[in-house]
Amino acid sequence: MINPESLFPGKLAIQQRVLTTYRAPLFDAVARACAGGLSVFAGLPRPEESIATTKSLRVARFAPAYNLHFFRGPLYFCYQRGLLSWLRDWDPDALIVEANPRYLSTPAAIRWMKGHGKPIIGWGLGAPGSSGQGWRKKYIRQYDAMLTYSRRGADEYAALGFPADRVFVAPNAASPRPVAPLPPRPDMFRGAPCILFVGRLQVRKRVDLLLRACAAQPVKPRLILVGDGPERTALETLARTVYPSAEFIGAKHGPELAPYFTAADLFVLPGTGGLAVQEAMSYGLPVIMGQGDGTNDDLVRAANGWQVPPDDLSALTDTLQQALSDATRLRSMGAESYRIVAEEINLENMVGVFLEALQRVRR
């Protein structure tokens, strides 16, 4: 339940390069807390990015952008046509934008908001390795507040001189707090320990390393791979040689996933990304996942899991062996996973941080 005093009394605008499917519930929840409503401006990714997007928002309004993509990799830039027209039409009382200097249309939006005496909030991962870079300091000074996913990101913004009381940590939540109780599991494994992966089968998920790490275990675990994607055929071919017992289930969604989460003892995502981590934690599963950009630093901790280098087979193999060596410890870590998503990192708390930031810039 949102405190009525934290509701935003005006109209809010949020800019995104793309509107991912998993972000829709967040924006709808924020829209419910805005008296004047919320409009989300977003375009489409490049086809090769394989990002699941949507235009369907139940409460918030969707305003389509036309994304122009320039170059690739470190030289990538994006320009969003229609940004200023959208701002003029919606005339928001506050604007939240992705704080990415590679988005070439954002400076004009910032000038428009400042010219009308309205606050603007940046939303970003942080600024790794940017200490002493004057241009980055100048860039973030444009914002009235910063939203970031992790304490690491907040520390990086603080290192650039941004006021600490205007940096708000909104952990990257994709799911609401669980409503079901912690699923019961016996202290000992039920036969071979069961490892679960849920996600899109693509190169960056490094499922190939998971197959090899399972094959190197002294006690061979049951490995369930739920998902589909461009790498499925290649991974099935590899599995026939490396780990023939691996179970490729295919794509499952919503309630279809429940039996797999319930049967598992450990959730493993060896590469980067992975929206299913929080759902796995809501079923009381400890987690092994690849280190990333800091968005999951506060989610997967020593008390409930392990973060490993995403391309290090040896580290994954050793961590997997350590995890499967003590069923009692895994159960305790799974209970901590459940507590984290029930009490700390969930959609409701993320919305609360957004509203806190909006209240701060109104003062």
d(CA 353, CA 134): 29
d(CA 202, CA 43): 23
| 147: DSSP letter | E
Q: What is the pLDDT of residues 223-238, one digit of tens each?
A: 999 999 899 999 999 9
| CB atoms closer than 10 angstroms to residue 113 | 22
Q: Is the pLDDT of residue 294 over 70?
A: no
Helix orientation angle between 347-362 and 24-32, rounded to the nearest 10 degrees: 50
User: Residue holding tokens 């589909």?
Assistant: 228
Cα–Cα nearest to 288, from 178, 237, 213, 184: 213
* Mean per-residue pLDDT over the chain, rounded: 92
Q: How far is CA 146 from the centre of its chain?
A: 17
Considering the entire predicted model, what is its pTM?
0.88
Q: What pLDDT sits at residue 67?
A: 96
Q: Is the pLDDT of residue 15 over 90?
A: yes
Q: What pLDDT sits at residue 4?
A: 56
Sign of the alpha-carbon dihedral angle for 202, 206, 212, 217: negative
268 within 8 A of 288, measured Cβ to Cβ: yes
Q: What pLDDT sits at residue 253?
A: 87
Q: What pLDDT sits at residue 146?
A: 96
Q: Which residues contact 56 (CB under 8 A, 6 or more apart)?
A: 24, 62
Q: What is the mean pLDDT of residues 60-71?
A: 96
Q: What pLDDT sits at residue 295?
A: 67
**Structural domains of the chain, with CATH:** 4-173+346-362 (3.40.50.2000), 194-343 (3.40.50.2000)
Q: What pLDDT sits at residue 18?
A: 96
Q: What pLDDT sits at residue 264?
A: 96
Q: What is the pLDDT of residues 167-214, one digit of tens each?
A: 999 988 888 999 999 999 998 888 899 999 999 898 989 999 999 999
Q: What pLDDT sits at residue 137?
A: 84
Q: Is the pLDDT of residue 131 over 70?
A: no
Q: Is the pLDDT of residue 2 over 60?
A: no
Q: How many CA atoms lie within 13 A of 238 on its CB side?
A: 16
Q: What is the mean pLDDT of residues 104-132?
A: 88
Residue percentage of the chain with pLDDT more than 90: 77
